[in-house]
């Protein structure tokens, strides 16, 4: 079983609407959690990185939350744009080794 599970697998929303993507993990002991955006045919690009002590971090219209107690993170996208259509990948790192565990991603499609 993957140590990082993302939901939903795919999501279609209308332009201008908000959405929230989920990431649950079992990686332990926790070091940091990152959200990446991957456009079709491109490599992943970092959106945010969160450490244990951070609950919320924003990057423009993207807001990530972290609950280290329940081992859950979310990525909220506000006022979606067509350019937000991409895969969003959650990556969790552990303290005791150098592993980074990748979720399978959520494929977001924003329609006009």
**Count of alpha carbons within 13 angstroms of residue 7, beta-carbon side:** 4
Task: Between 42 and 111, name the residue whose CB sits nearer to another protein.
Answer: 42
Give residue for tokens 């895969």.
87
Question: Is there binding between residue 2 and another protein (CB under 8 A)?
Answer: yes
Output the smallest distance, CB 14 to another protein, in A: 26
Q: Which residues contact 13 (CB under 8 A, 6 or more apart)?
A: 19, 80, 108, 109, 110, 111
User: Per-residue string for binding with another protein, 76-105, x by CB under 8 A?
Assistant: -------------x---x----xxxxxxxx
Identify which of 90, 64, 92, 91 has the alpha carbon closest to the alpha carbon of residue 77: 64
Q: Binding of another protein at residue 43 (CB under 8 A)?
A: yes
Tokens of 17: 């609407």
Instruction: Select from 24, 32, 63, 78 the one that contacts another protein (CB under 8 A).
Output: 32
Footprint of another protein (CB under 8 A): 2, 4, 31-32, 34, 41-46, 49, 89, 93, 98-105
């Amino acid at each position: 079983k993957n140590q990082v599970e993302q939901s939903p697998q795919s999501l279609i929303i209308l332009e201008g609407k908000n959405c929230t993507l989920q990431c649950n993990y079992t990686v332990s002991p926790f070091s940091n959690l990152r959200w990446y955006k991957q456009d079709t045919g491109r490599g992943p690009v970092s959106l945010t990185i969160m450490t244990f002590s951070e609950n919320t971090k924003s990057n423009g219209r993207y807001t990530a939350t972290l609950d280290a107690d329940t081992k859950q993170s979310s990525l909220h996208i506000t006022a979606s744009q067509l350019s937000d259509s991409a895969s969003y990948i959650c990556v969790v790192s552990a303290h005791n080794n150098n592993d980074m565990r990748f979720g399978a991603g959520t494929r977001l499609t924003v329609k006009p």
